[in-house]
Amino acid sequence: MGMSLWAKCDDLAKGGISFVTVTMTGVRGSAPQEVGAKMVVSLEGLEAGTIGGGKIELAGINQALELLRDGQSPPLLVVWNLQTDIGMSCGGEVTLLFEQHRQDNWPIVIFGAGHVAQALTRLLSHLNCQVTCVDPREEWVSKLNGVRGICHPTPKDLVASFSPKSFFLSMTMGHAHDVPILQEIARHAPLAPYVGVIGSTVKGIKIKDELRNLGVSDEFLHRLRVPMGLPIGKNEPWEIAVSIAAELLKVRDE
């Protein structure tokens, strides 16, 4: 499985696109590919790789599409006779392993990996969502558990790499770090279903004034949640995390 194929799998996963990997695990007699041949299939069709082209590849793609349309399913191992099952002139037999990689359709992007983010990501890791947490501090990123962590010196530069349909949360070291990230979110994902910032009401007023002076629309600012989270619990990391997670669920289900 070449690097380009692995890269395609990574791109699909980051984009929240479900896919199936098809691996030729056995060959008997004459076959168009060797053991280990692989391809990747999404609902759009063949994404990368090959298991031989022609009729066998078409049959493999159709089987993968059937799995994707059926939803969650365990790995499938099939044995096909190339003459009787596929209609090829080859007299061989192949064994194919179909593995489904379903992606969550609820992407959540968190900027900042501090104490509250550590608690929140652990809560979210138990929910049916796809969480990415970005922070310039390697020591904090390394503490994340159950979610994808990215250490990057300028987190705002990564905003455009995420789906505009993501839920965006800014939980950085302070509003000076929040503002450039929020400005990028307003540019890249002005209609994001959720954009929130951790902090007080006073902080929210200051951030919105600063963003307005930078040209961010009033529509975006009206939808910006500062402070984020439902008004429940005490000012303690785990309870703040619970209030934020509850608000995320509420918005998701509205």
**Residue-wise pLDDT tens digits, 178-218:** 999 999 999 999 999 999 999 999 999 999 999 999 999 99
Spatial CA neighbour of 251 closest among 196, 184, 197, 201: 196
> Do 96 and 128 share a domain, yes or no?
no
- Boundary-marking domain end, from 101, 127, 146: 101
Chain segment 49-90, per-residue pLDDT in tens = 999 888 999 999 999 999 988 866 789 999 999 888 988 887
Q: What is the pLDDT of residue 97?
A: 97
- Boundary-marking domain end, from 77, 101, 125: 101
Chain segment 232-241, per-residue pLDDT in tens = 999 999 999 9
Residue range of the domain that includes 192: 107-252
In terms of C-beta density within 10 A (0-12 exposed, 13-18 middle, 19 or more buried), how is residue 62 classed?
Answer: exposed
DSSP state of 41: E
Q: What is the pLDDT of residue 1?
A: 45
> Do 9 and 79 share a domain, yes or no?
yes
Report the alpha-carbon angle 121-125-131, nearest 5.
Answer: 65
Over residues 121-143, the mean pLDDT reads 94
Buried b (16+ CB within 10 A) or exposed e, 19-52: bbbbbbeebeeebbbeeebbbbbbeeebbbbbbb
Q: What is the pLDDT of residue 17?
A: 77
> Do 80 and 167 share a domain, yes or no?
no
> Do 151 and 55 share a domain, yes or no?
no
Over residues 152-172, the mean pLDDT reads 93
> Do 25 and 145 share a domain, yes or no?
no
- Boundary-marking domain end, from 74, 101, 128: 101
Over residues 214-229, the mean pLDDT reads 96
Region of poorest pLDDT, from 9-18, 185-194, 215-224: 9-18
Task: Pinpoint the alpha helices (H) of the chain.
Answer: 3-14, 54-70, 115-124, 138-141, 175-188, 201-213, 218-223, 237-252
Q: What is the pLDDT of residue 15?
A: 67
The CATH number of the domain holding residue 155 is 3.40.50.720
Spatial CA neighbour of 127 closest among 98, 151, 105: 105
- Give the side-chain half-sphere CA count within 13 A for 231: 3
Answer whether residue 2 shows pLDDT above 70: no
More confident residue, 198 or 161: 198
Beta strand pairing status for 107-111 and 76-81?
unpaired
- Name residue 27's amino acid: V
Confidence class for position 161, pLDDT limits 50, 70, 90? confident
Q: What is the pLDDT of residue 72?
A: 67
What domain count does the chain have?
2
Spatial CA neighbour of 222 closest among 249, 195, 244, 202: 195
> Do 221 and 126 share a domain, yes or no?
yes
* Orientation angle between helical segments 201-213 and 175-188, nearest 10 degrees: 50
Give SS3 for 15.
Answer: coil
| Residue 247 backbone dihedrals phi, psi, to 5 degrees | -70, -40
> Do 51 and 14 share a domain, yes or no?
yes
> Do 129 and 243 share a domain, yes or no?
yes
Share the mean pLDDT of the chain. 91
> Do 237 and 126 share a domain, yes or no?
yes
